[in-house]
Amino acid sequence: MKKITSLILAVVALSFNSCSGQFGKLLKTVGLDEISSEEVASGLKEALSQGTSKGADLLSAKDGYFKSIYKIALPEDAKSVCNKLAVIPGFNSIENDVVEKINRAAEDAAVKAKPIFINAIRQVTIQDAWNILKGQDNAATQFLQKTTYQSLYNEFKPVISGSMEKVGALQLWSSAVNKYNQIPLVKKANPDMSDYVTNKALEGLFRKIAEEELNIRHNLAARTTELLKKVFSKQDK
């Protein structure tokens, strides 16, 4: 009896082993094969690297900010300054001049964003990756903005300020504001626009990254590697 039982178990085991390979292939074919946490983390980092790199490249090109939906406009108080100065000889085109120069500064600074983002992406954990994969359409962008914004700001502002100085935006605005502040009974304006431009430049950059994330999540053609296809296929189910 024991010999018969052992023989049956051996046959069952042999049959299972012969079918397991085919069963595994079947699971893979229908998309039910498992994906490792390491693959998810690598895939999310690859997607973030792709999105941030493309975003930085596009915005750092000429007219990346100035002639796009990410164009940085003047704040309302600055527009008031320009409106009052427009009637003074030599300042009739001040608003257009300042807007172009601050956008050129943002384009110049965007070149510096890529290595900062790449360094931040390296810090993404496996748990972060799973949360992002199963999160909202902008979960990766939200995570990146939450964890890097302040450090990005700290690195970005000096670049913005230097770029604005290089293209003459700081001098132009300072001259305009000083002239404006000489007008009787007006509320004195702040000649420093670097903080405003820095925040707006980063806002535009994150908006672009969010668009790239959305594209990868919902456009199969945007998943340009096998890893991206495998990882993001899990959120399609």
Question: In the structure, what pLDDT confidence band is assigned to residue 49 with cuts at 50, 70 and 90?
Answer: very high
Q: Where along the chain do its domains lie?
A: 56-233
Cβ atoms of 228 and 133 within 8 Å: the answer is: no
Whether the pLDDT of residue 21 is over 90: the answer is: no
For the whole model, what pTM was predicted?
0.74
Question: In the structure, what pLDDT confidence band is assigned to residue 186 with cuts at 50, 70 and 90?
Answer: low
What's the start-to-end Cα distance of the chain, in Å?
49
Question: In the structure, what pLDDT confidence band is assigned to residue 191 with cuts at 50, 70 and 90?
Answer: low
- Please state, rounded to an integer, the average pLDDT across all residues of the chain: 79
Which whole number is the average pLDDT over 123-134? 91
Question: In the structure, what pLDDT confidence band is assigned to residue 128 with cuts at 50, 70 and 90?
Answer: very high
